[in-house]
């Protein structure tokens, strides 16, 4: 029987962030993952501490950002792949009133480090932005599919990845350990994203799931190096390719791309750009979203079973710090904030 400190189920951004926290703390672990990732891989990979609809700060945004940037810098070095780009976001402003709202927001204490107070003039004729842009300063993006594939290779080379579906009914719970097939572990962390709804140990009542779709376009005349934010995000991918989206479909756990969403994205895209483009692909994924929009960390009645879920729309930003909170809860008996503690849903 192989003995480890942790079994991790799921290798999206939650699983990867927890693996890294364990590695830094010299804990042994193995990961079970289906090899099919629908959320982290599909995601835009954007990290941004500002709610760009309302010009407000994301809950604990600056704390999350402070951990996220060094995390992605370090993991890029460790895996020897270029993952992180500190690409600015240009929020397209729609009126004089929005310009004023932006200026007021940029002066607020919580937003001052993140929003440039200057309104940028649009000089790109391919972009429809007569009222210019507000520039988000501390933000950027990672390449999520590169991260997943490089991290899978890394774990495979260390014999720490088992590519198969975890079968919950085969998990045996002992007082101070769990046993799964030929592995005995002190604890198990379920980081299964939206598929957690199939986990019999997970209370599904407050879990929503929110499907999102992107189209990929080729638009040689667009020439935007910044991430554009209007009714949608337009995220540069290199080689004149842009990810455009995403849509939101609550309580939808299906994973197929739809004609309906493609049409909705195209109609909004045409409000943002005026150049020619070709749709070259369409992708869909399900965000692991909770009713109160906060993460789900910690354990319920079985202390050996931990959850790392509920990353919602901002997993890339939040996972590095959340993984530390979960580790400190598990190993150092530190309390979790009640906002993120899964125990808030105990009856
Ligand atoms: C269209 C879209 C755009 C997004 N854009 C952004 C963005 O720009 N920025 C941002 O921060 N967030 C974004 N998100 C949200 C982000 O993708 C999620 O918050 C994050 O990826 C969730 O990560 P996770 O690790 O919890 O889940 P996932 O990435 O879904 O990973 C879960 C893993 O668990 C595995 N798994 C599940 N069950 C089992 C099992 N029984 N056995 C073995 N393996 C199992 C799955 O195969 C999967 O690999 C977006 C999401 C979508 C859908």
Nearest atom in ligand 1 to 314's CA: 11
Closest CA to 6 of 188, 192, 190: 188
pLDDT bucket at 251, cuts 50 / 70 / 90: confident
The answer to whether residues 37 and 156 belong to one domain is yes
Q: What is the percent of the chain where pLDDT is above 90?
A: 93
Cβ 247 under 6 angstroms from ligand 1: no
The reported pLDDT for the residue numbered 135 is: 97
Cα–Cα distance between 209 and 198 in angstroms, integer? 12
User: In terms of Cα–Cα distance, which of 340, 304, 85 is closest to 201?
Assistant: 304
- The per-residue pLDDT for 347 is 59
The neighbouring-strand residues paired with 207 are 290
Pairwise pLDDT comparison (251 vs 111), residue with the higher score: 111
Q: 45 CB less than 6 Å from ligand 1? A: yes
CATH number at residue 230: 3.30.9.10
Helix ranges (DSSP H) in 131-278: 144-157, 259-272
pLDDT band at 317 (very low <50, low <70, confident <90, very high): very high
Q: Does a structural domain hold residue 166?
A: yes
Residue range(s) defining the domain that contains residue 108: 88-138
Measured in Å, residue 288 CA sits from the centre of ligand 1 at 7
pLDDT at residue 120, as a whole number: 97
Share of the chain above pLDDT 70, in %: 100
Cα(127) to centroid(ligand 1), Å: 31
Exposure class string for 97-136: b at 16+ Cβ within 10 A, else e: ebbeebeebbeeeebeebbeeebbebebebbebebbbbbb
- Give residue 8's pLDDT: 98
Residue 311: inside a domain = yes
Instruction: Please report whether residue 51 resides in a domain.
Output: no
The set of residues, in sequence order, having a beta carbon less than 8 Å from that of 84 and lying 6+ positions away, is 69, 72, 73, 76, 140, 141, 142
57 located within any domain: no
Task: Note whether 217 and 283 are same-domain residues.
Answer: yes
Under the banding of pLDDT at 50, 70 and 90, the label for residue 164 is: very high
The answer to whether residue 74 is domain-embedded is: no
166-178 pLDDT, tens digit each? 999 999 999 899 9
> Is 174 among the domain residues?
yes
Residues 333 and 188 in one domain: yes
Tell whether ligand 1 has an atom less than 6 A from the beta carbon of residue 36: yes
Q: What is the DSSP string of 265-314?
A: HHHHHHHHB-S--EEEEEEEEEE--BTTS--EEE-SS-TTEEEEE--TT-
Domain count, the chain: 3
**Residue 63 maps to a domain:** no
Residue pLDDT, tens place only, 81-124: 999 999 999 999 999 999 999 999 999 999 999 999 999 999 99
Q: Does one domain contain both 235 and 269?
A: yes
Euclidean distance between CA atoms 340 and 45, whole angstroms: 22
Evaluate whether residue 78 is within a structural domain.
Answer: no
Report the chain's terminal Cα–Cα distance, integer Å: 37
| pTM score of the predicted model | 0.97
Reply yes or no on whether the pLDDT at 313 is more than 80: yes
Q: Are residues 234 and 105 in the same domain?
A: no
pLDDT at 345: 87
257 pLDDT tier (thresholds 50, 70, 90): very high
Same domain membership, residue 276 and residue 215: yes
Looking at the structure, tell me whether residues 306 and 192 fall in a common domain.
yes
Residue 257 contacts residue 213 (beta carbons within 8 Å)? yes
- Residues 272, 131 share a domain: no
């Amino acid at each position: 029987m192989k003995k480890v400190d942790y079994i991790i189920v799921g290798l999206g951004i939650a699983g990867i962030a927890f693996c890294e926290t364990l590695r830094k703390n010299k804990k042994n672990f193995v990961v079970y993952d289906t090899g099919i990732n629908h959320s982290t891989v599909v995601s835009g990979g954007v990290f941004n501490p500002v709610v760009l609809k309302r010009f407000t700060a994301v809950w604990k945004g600056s704390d999350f950002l402070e951990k996220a940037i060094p995390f992605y810098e370090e993991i890029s070095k460790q895996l020897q792949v270029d993952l992180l780009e500190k690409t600015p976001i240009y929020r397209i402003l729609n009126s004089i009133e929005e310009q004023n709202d932006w200026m007021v927001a940029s002066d607020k204490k919580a937003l001052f480090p993140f929003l440039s107070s200057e309104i940028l003039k649009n000089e790109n004729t391919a972009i429809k932005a007569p009222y210019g842009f507000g520039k988000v300063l501390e933000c950027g993006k990672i390449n999520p599919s590169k991260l997943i594939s490089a991290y899978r290779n890394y774990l495979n080379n260390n014999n720490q990845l088992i590519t198969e579906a975890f079968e919950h009914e085969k998990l045996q719970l002992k007082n101070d350990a769990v046993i799964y097939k030929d592995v005995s572990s002190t604890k198990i962390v379920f980081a299964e994203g939206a598929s957690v709804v199939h986990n019999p140990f997970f209370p599904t009542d407050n879990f929503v799931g929110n499907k999102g779709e992107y189209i990929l376009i080729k638009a040689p005349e667009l020439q935007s190096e910044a991430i554009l934010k209007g009714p949608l995000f337009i995220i540069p991918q290199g080689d004149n390719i842009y990810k455009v989206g995403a849509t939101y479909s609550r309580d939808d756990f299906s994973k197929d791309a739809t004609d309906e969403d493609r049409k909705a994205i195209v109609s909004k895209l045409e409000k943002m750009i005026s150049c020619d483009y070709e749709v070259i692909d369409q992708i869909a994924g399900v965000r692991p979203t909770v009713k109160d929009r906060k993460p789900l960390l910690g354990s319920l009645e079985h202390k050996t079973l931990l959850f790392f879920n509920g990353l919602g729309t901002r997993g890339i930003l939040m996972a590095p710090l959340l993984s530390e909170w979960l580790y400190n809860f598990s190993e150092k008996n530190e309390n979790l904030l009640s906002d993120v503690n899964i125990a808030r849903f105990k009856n």
